[in-house]
Amino acid sequence: MPLVTYEQVRPWASQIAHAVEMKMMPPWFADRRYGHYANDASLTEQQIATISQWAAAGAPAGDVHDAPVPPKWTDGWNIPEPDLVVKMPVPVKLPEQGEVEYTYEIFPTHFTEDRWVQMSELRPSSAAHVHHAVVYIRLPDSQWLRHAPVGKPFTASSLTDPDDRRQAHETTSDLLLVYAPGSAPDQWPEGMAKFVPAGSDLVFQMHYTTNGKAAEDQTGIGLVFAKTPPKQRVITLQLNNHAVLIPPGADDFRVEVQGTLPHGATLMSLFPHMHLRGKRFEYNIVHDDGSVETLLRVNYHFHWQLSYKLAEPRVLKAGTKLRAIAWYDNSKNNPHNPDPEKTVTWGDQTSDEMMVGFFDVAIPAGMDKWQFFIFVSSGVIDLS
């Protein structure tokens, strides 16, 4: 439903005022006390007060001569016209109902030279069925899913090689792009880009959900290449804790994990990921003296999974200790909770849970990601 003209907005004035007063709209969930972010869409208190006063006054139209120029919406891509559009080779058929196992498709790039991706945007053809998607960069010498079929959909359970089945969800491959509801395209500053070596494959990992309507999805990704080789390479790292064990009825259950950066890097953005019981998520730096600096705290919203892009990228020295903390609401008071009587563990489906703290860092262009894996300490789970 469009809300562009006065005629479209006027009947909804009171609902709009309520949404902005409750800070449900525009979608922005970061605690203002921690960090500053370039993509901050939130309203100031003065802006909220102006909207509330307008609605309370009967939503007057004002002087038509002061009306802003109608917005022009992007037709097609939200990034500049892509240099290359890669689609999953074969559409995936989705049933009306039931759980859908993670689905993969491998796209050989056939790149004869290294490519640097400065911008990328993922577009599902059936967005209503896509819970999230990840596009991995599989290097030519990688053994990950090496016996899996190329150019057609498959799942882990359909693979005949036991190593491929076991390792389907675990890879050291770099991420080109992560997509979830509310995600924006990746657009890196001049001099920074994602690296796709010659001969690499792009592996689509798709998490679908059903909604009562059968469909087909053929997700694609648009790529804009850097015009010149950049000085810095952007890689995506993550802090995970797979040992999630949330008791029935727990309304503020805490899970955390900590890791140490082996090399210096520049922190660019943060992207927390949980499922329906996700409540809050926080990223911290734990300093050598034991003090804790909070980089980001969000009131998590499963249907608006945002990447938080630092207004000023943060230089992190080698040895920096990073900590991610997640809180979950498995109580009946959580309206999104599918089963408050269930003990919840890590799993792929929306009814399970995840604890993933993605973050993007810029490193020297010549540095290999293998030099940059985080040394992760044991995840700490609060069972109290």
Domains of the chain, by residue range, sit at: 6-66, 84-230, 234-381
Which band of pLDDT confidence, cut at 50, 70 and 90, is reported for residue 163?
Answer: confident
Number of H helices, E strands in the chain: 4, 23
Q: What percent of the chain has pLDDT over 90?
A: 80
Residue 147 has pLDDT above 80, yes or no: yes
Which band of pLDDT confidence, cut at 50, 70 and 90, is reported for residue 380?
Answer: very low
Could you give the C-alpha distances from 359 to 22, 189, 270, 283, in angstroms and in order? 28, 16, 4, 10
Which band of pLDDT confidence, cut at 50, 70 and 90, is reported for residue 68?
Answer: confident
Whether 248 contacts 330, CB under 8 Å: yes
Residue 200 has pLDDT above 90, yes or no: yes
Whether 362 contacts 232, CB under 8 Å: yes
User: What is the spatial distance between Cα 70 and Cα 52, in angstroms, rounded to a whole number?
Assistant: 23
* Strand ranges, E, within 229-306: 232-240, 245-246, 253-260, 265-273, 278-286, 292-299
Could you give the C-alpha distances from 259 to 250, 286, 288, in angstroms and in order? 26, 10, 13
- pLDDT average, residue stretch 228-240: 94
Residue 378 has pLDDT above 50, yes or no: no
Which band of pLDDT confidence, cut at 50, 70 and 90, is reported for residue 373?
Answer: low
User: What is the spatial distance between Cα 222 and Cα 225, in angstroms, rounded to a whole number?
Assistant: 10
Q: Which fold is adopted by the domain 234-381?
A: Jelly Rolls (2.60.120)
Residue type, 195: F
User: What is the spatial distance between Cα 39 and Cα 166, in angstroms, rounded to a whole number?
Assistant: 38
In the chain, where does DSSP find H-type helix? 6-9, 13-21, 45-56, 162-167
User: What is the spatial distance between Cα 186 and Cα 194, in angstroms, rounded to a whole number?
Assistant: 10
User: What is the spatial distance between Cα 317 and Cα 4, in angstroms, rounded to a whole number?
Assistant: 46
Q: Which of 183-187, 311-315, 337-341 has the lowest mean pLDDT?
A: 183-187
Q: What is the pLDDT of residues 8-43, one digit of tens each?
A: 999 999 999 999 999 889 999 999 999 999 999 999
Residue 190 has pLDDT above 80, yes or no: yes
Q: Does domain 84-230 have CATH number 2.60.120.310?
A: yes
- pLDDT average, residue stretch 58-83: 86
User: What is the spatial distance between Cα 173 and Cα 175, in angstroms, rounded to a whole number?
Assistant: 7
pTM higher than 0.85: yes
DSSP three-state, residue 157? helix
Residue 257 has pLDDT above 80, yes or no: yes
Q: What pLDDT is stored for residue 113 in this prediction? A: 96
Whether 206 contacts 136, CB under 8 Å: no
Q: Is 315 exposed, middle or buried (0-12, 13-18, 19+ CB in 10 A)?
A: exposed
Whether 266 contacts 316, CB under 8 Å: yes
Which band of pLDDT confidence, cut at 50, 70 and 90, is reported for residue 143?
Answer: very high
Q: What is the pLDDT of residues 107-138, one digit of tens each?
A: 999 999 999 999 999 999 999 999 889 999 99
- Domain 84-230 matches domain 234-381 at the CATH topology level: yes
Phi and psi dihedrals of 318, rounded to 5?
-60, 140
More confident residue, 370 or 6: 6
- pLDDT average, residue stretch 238-266: 94
